[in-house]
Amino acid sequence: MKKTKASSNNQHRLRLLFLIVASFLVCFIALYGCYVYGLAGFSYLSASAYLGSFKNDACAGKYIFVHQLPPKFNFDLLRRCETLSYHMKDMCVYLQNDGFGPPMAENSSIFEAGSWFATDQFSLEVIFHSRMKRYECLTNDSSSADALYVPFYAALEAGRNLESQNTTVRDKAPMELMDYISSQKEWSAMEGRDHFLVAGRIAWDFRRSIDDDTYWGNKLMNLPQSEQITMLTIESTTYHENEAGAICEQK
């Protein structure tokens, strides 16, 4: 069936609205404040009319369903944390404290005890997943969820293989993930458009467009299923409507 201009515009607006909501949730749940670059023009959307009919439900519009992925996509990576980087012998120290890393100089007069951590720049997905487990508006019913979270540790997985000279090795886990997610019953409701994924690296690490061993990155964000999912990264590109960068600062 040929899409009309109106239906195309509606889909575009829905995706932008979903990006805004998902970006807010990432920062809110991780206990950060943040600016979502690329979406500033839509920051004045009012939700008052939408929320007016849900006054009796504190979680209205905020219900999240979390996919229970096979452990190879997240927890197994933590168990093998010493293998996650080409440049470090061991990433394990930076994944303690739910991804925040080791505390910084608690006996220092500069840092308040328990407030500052030596956090690795690529650990956002671990921090977010840990916070999500304690999120008050989780639901086990995907049909009542406002968004569905895919807890894939994309940055940790990519870090093991980004310098491999074999694109098949780099793409193996992303392709397996998308095949798995798109085969689940939760996917079929909106063909993945209600799903979001948090990746703790820059978007270009996941946007290789050519199957050439000399090109950088894997193709997680260029797979067909990925085009349906909202992707939140530590730094986004500027021309993909399903992608946003959550640049956060601690409050």
Q: Does residue 226 have a pLDDT over 80?
A: yes
Residues in the chain: 251
Cβ burial, residue 137 (10 Å; 0-12/13-18/19+): middle
pLDDT at position 50: 47
Separation between Cα atoms, residue 162 and residue 99, nearest integer Å:
21
Separation between Cα atoms, residue 223 and residue 163, nearest integer Å:
20
Confidence class for position 192, pLDDT limits 50, 70, 90:
very high
**Lowest pLDDT segment from 37-46, 54-63, 186-195:** 37-46
pLDDT tens, 7-38? 555 555 555 555 555 555 555 454 444 444 44
Residues 49-70: what's their mean pLDDT? Answer: 79
Separation between Cα atoms, residue 134 and residue 137, nearest integer Å:
9
Interacting residues of 182 by C-beta distance below 8 A, sequence separation 6+: 192, 225
Show the CA angle centred on residue 34, arms to residues 75 and 195, nearest 5°. Answer: 50
Q: Which amino acid is at 31?
A: L
Confidence class for position 242, pLDDT limits 50, 70, 90:
confident
Q: Among candidates 180, 185, 197, which has minimal Cα distance to 231?
A: 197
Task: Give the three-state DSSP class for 167.
Answer: helix
Q: Does residue 46 have a pLDDT over 80?
A: no
pLDDT at position 83: 81
pLDDT at position 143: 92
Q: Does residue 111 have a pLDDT over 70?
A: no
**Lowest pLDDT segment from 60-64, 102-106, 187-191:** 102-106
